[in-house]
């Protein structure tokens, strides 16, 4: 087959013939992608790694020194902000991803069994997916505004007295506000994938379960959820790649403030690097967020990779 194919490659009469030995074809076709990514992501990230081992600042020019792991040491051991920010980010992601998943699953279930209007429901649900994260942040900044915000206005209309609740300024309320924005932005995505999953499930097991008199909860727990897992993996995998979008939302809603009360690791990079102009420290912080993202991506992505690569790993 290969020999024949190669010969046919050469004698091909069709216009689009790529006269290359087949052995090199895969890498040739991949080359443009590799070059793009190496230039825009690879090289800058290597540069950033190098910077993180120096004492470079905006004004250093060429006058800076190699300081080894000093920046990382400072962040991890001497910076009282770092662990607070780190812990808050873990809490934020844990709450966001779990709430989005539970909410998404619930809404997807409701949507899948809706009697009419499924496609309208799906269209409405997709609306937040078109919003730029920066736009999501902006609208919630406005909604949670103490004086003219939608939330306080609704409270006023319902209760009849003016509430000037400082949503974005008070410590815990600020955290809740950014969490609400994040959930509004990302839940629809879960819903869309999980609903498609639920609709694609085979009906026979459910009919059999009905005949055996299984309860709704039993059907959900023993049939729906296990069969839905591939869709859950896909949703989680794509979600993991986009987790840092939370930076956009928070940066416009609170900017990590006031007084760092809603700071997450991503806004902290911005504070160190661009507000504080400590490029080296910012680079070190960047690398901490990169490692954080890799671990998070690996956790949520591993099952997808397993299924994609099934049967290939052994052959290689």
Partner 1 sequence: MNTTNETSSLKKRFRRNRWKYIFSDVLLWFILLLFFIPALWIILTSIRIRSEINAFPPVWIPTGFSFDSFKILFGMPTPEGAFGLGGEIPVISYARNSVIVALVSTTFALIFGTLAGYVFSRFRFKGKNGLYLGLMLARAIPGIALSLPLFIVFARIRLSDTILGLVVTYSALNIPFTAWLMDGFFRAIPKELDEAARIDGCSLWGAFIHVSLPLALPGVAAAGIFAFLTSWNEFALAGIITRTPASRTFPPALFEFTGQFVSDWRGMTAMSVLMLIPAVIFVALVQRQLLEGLTSGATKG
Q: Which of residues 92-121 bind partner 1 (CB under 8 A)?
A: 107, 110-111, 113-115, 117, 121
Residue 315 Cα to chain centre, angstroms: 32
Residues near 226 by beta carbon (within 8 Å), at least 6 away in sequence? none
Structure tokens at 244: 């840092």
Residue choice 57, 60, 234, 260 for contact with partner 1 (CB under 8 A): 234
Residue choice 3, 27, 211, 259 for contact with partner 1 (CB under 8 A): 27
Closer of 86 and 140 to partner 1 (Cβ): 140
The verdict on 86 binding partner 1 (CB under 8 A) reads no
Stretch that binds partner 1, among 21-29, 67-75, 77-85, 87-95 (CB under 8 A): 21-29
Are 265 and 292 spatial neighbours (Cβ–Cβ below 8 Å)?
yes
The verdict on 176 binding partner 1 (CB under 8 A) reads no
The verdict on 3 binding partner 1 (CB under 8 A) reads no
The verdict on 57 binding partner 1 (CB under 8 A) reads no
Are 285 and 268 spatial neighbours (Cβ–Cβ below 8 Å)?
yes
Q: How far apart are CA 58 and CA 80, in angstroms?
A: 23
What's the DSSP call for residue 226?
Answer: H
Q: How far apart are CA 309 and CA 292, in angstroms?
A: 24
The verdict on 208 binding partner 1 (CB under 8 A) reads no
Stretch that binds partner 1, among 62-70, 73-81, 84-92, 237-245 (CB under 8 A): 237-245
Sign (positive or negative) of CA dihedral 275, 277, 283, 285:
negative
Closer of 149 and 175 to partner 1 (Cβ): 149
Structure tokens at 213: 């008199």
The verdict on 146 binding partner 1 (CB under 8 A) reads no
Are 270 and 47 spatial neighbours (Cβ–Cβ below 8 Å)?
no
Collapse the DSSP code of 54 into the 3-class scheme (helix H, G, I; strand E, B; otherwise coil) and give the result. Answer: strand
Backbone angles phi, psi at 66, to 5 degrees: -80, 125
Footprint of partner 1 on 64-83 (CB under 8 A): none
Residue choice 175, 231, 239, 262 for contact with partner 1 (CB under 8 A): 231
Footprint of partner 1 on 254-273 (CB under 8 A): 266, 269-270, 273
The verdict on 299 binding partner 1 (CB under 8 A) reads no
């Amino acid at each position: 087959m290969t020999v024949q194919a190669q010969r046919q490659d050469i004698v091909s009469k069709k216009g689009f013939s790529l006269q290359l030995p087949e052995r090199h074809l895969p890498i040739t076709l991949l080359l443009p992608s590799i070059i793009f990514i190496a230039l825009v992501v690879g090289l800058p990230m290597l540069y950033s790694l190098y910077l993180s081992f120096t004492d470079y600042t905006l004004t250093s020019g060429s006058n800076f020194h190699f300081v080894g792991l000093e920046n990382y040491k400072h962040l991890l051991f001497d910076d009282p902000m770092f662990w607070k920010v780190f812990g808050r980010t873990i809490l934020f992601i844990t709450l966001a991803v779990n709430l989005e998943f539970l909410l998404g699953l619930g809404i997807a279930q409701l949507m899948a069994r809706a009697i009419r209007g499924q496609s309208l429901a799906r269209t409405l649900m997709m609306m937040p997916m078109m919003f730029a994260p920066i736009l999501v942040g902006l609208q919630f900044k406005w909604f949670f505004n103490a004086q003219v915000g939608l939330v306080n206005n609704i409270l006023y209309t319902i209760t009849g007295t003016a509430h000037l609740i400082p949503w974005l300024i008070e410590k815990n309320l600020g955290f809740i506000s950014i969490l609400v924005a994040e959930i509004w932005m990302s839940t629809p995505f879960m819903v869309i994938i999980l609903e498609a999953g639920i609709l694609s499930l085979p009906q026979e097991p459910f009919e059999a379960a009905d005949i055996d008199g299984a309860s709704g909860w039993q059907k959900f727990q023993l049939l729906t959820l296990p069969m839905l897992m591939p869709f859950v993996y896909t949703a989680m995998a794509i979600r993991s790649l986009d987790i840092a979008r939370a930076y956009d939302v928070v940066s416009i809603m609170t900017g990590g403030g006031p007084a760092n009360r809603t700071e997450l690791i991503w806004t902290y990079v911005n504070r160190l690097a661009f507000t504080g102009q400590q490029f080296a420290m910012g680079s070190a912080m960047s690398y901490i967020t990169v490692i954080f993202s890799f671990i998070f991506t690996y956790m949520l992505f591993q099952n997808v990779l397993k299924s994609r690569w099934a049967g290939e790993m052994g052959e290689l």
